[in-house]
Chains A and B, each alone.
Chain A
Amino acid sequence: KNQVEQSPQSLIILEGKNCTLQCNYTVSPFSNLRWYKQDTGRGPVSLTIMTFSENTKSNGRYTATLDADTKQSSLHITASQLSDSASYICVVSANSNYQLIWGAGTKLIIKP
């Protein structure tokens, strides 16, 4: 069964600290892996999209990694800011743009 699992479910860190969110997937065939940020009361916003051949992709203070062999991805946030408080959702595409398998998300809270 195609599944995307994220950990931790929630995380609280102090402003300025770094953190890493995890995503494990069992999706086949695999096309690409995406990370989305969802602020409370808003729609998800795309952070990164990585294909099979990409190991790392950065978007400002966000760096995503992908290990297609172990079917794991991580999202690293550097020097966290209060505006990083949101849910971060890992999404895996099973070979087409609409066959997206969504994770349940990690709720990140940044405290001053």
Chain B
Amino acid sequence: DARVTQTPRDKVTEMGQEVTMRCQPILGHNTVFWYRQTMMQGLELLAYFRNRAPLDDSGMPKDRFSAEMPDATLATLKIQPSEPRDSAVYFCASAAQRSRISPLHFGNGTRLTVT
């Protein structure tokens, strides 16, 4: 079964430190999403890429978050500097953009705790 792979699975860090989360989308999928999930807010879209180009990153705090796709097999989400309010589960998802109704395939997330 093809799946989206995210690393690390868990990350505990101190406030002010840089955090990098990685995602390997399903081979052949040309759209990649970054979501954040908290108990209070549910799933929030942070960024969206199609064919490696960022199409929408309006959900990200621009001063500290950045998202990139160095190549088709890797997407990264960086937080610098991290803050306790960034504690959440970060999900990457990919989709094959053959139509407007292709399902999103999610990884199992990176659980980030900032102390």
The answer to whether A and B assemble together is yes
Docked pose: A96 CA to B95 CA in angstroms: 13
Q: In chain A, residues 55-106, which have Cβ atoms closer than 8 Å to a Cβ of chain B?
A: 89, 93, 95-98, 100, 102-105
Docked pose: A100 CA to B93 CA in angstroms: 13
Contacts of A43 in B (CB 8 A): 4, 91, 93, 106-109
Structural contact, B106 and A97, CB atoms closer than 8 A: no
Structural contact, B100 and A46, CB atoms closer than 8 A: no
Contact of B100 among A44, A89, A97, A103 (CB under 8 A): A97
Contacts of B4 in A (CB 8 A): 43
Structural contact, A32 and B100, CB atoms closer than 8 A: yes
> Can you list, as one digit per residue, whether each of A8-43 has a CB less than 8 Å from chain B (1) or not (0)?
000000000000000000000001101000000111
What is the interface size of chain A, counting residues whose CB is below 8 A from a CB of the partner? 22
Contacts of B45 in A (CB 8 A): 98, 100
Contacts of B97 in A (CB 8 A): 97
Q: A interface, by DSSP: helix, strand, loop or mixed?
A: loop
Docked pose: A103 CA to B41 CA in angstroms: 10
Q: Does A49 interact with chain B (Cβ within 8 Å)?
A: yes
Residue ranges of A at the interface with B (Cβ–Cβ < 8 Å): 31-32, 34, 41-46, 49, 51, 89, 93, 95-98, 100, 102-105
In the complex, 16 of the A-B residue pairs with CB atoms within 8 angstroms, ordered by the A residue number, are A31-B101, A42-B108, A43-B93, A43-B106, A43-B108, A44-B106, A46-B103, A46-B104, A51-B101, A93-B100, A93-B101, A96-B100, A97-B95, A97-B100, A98-B56, A105-B42
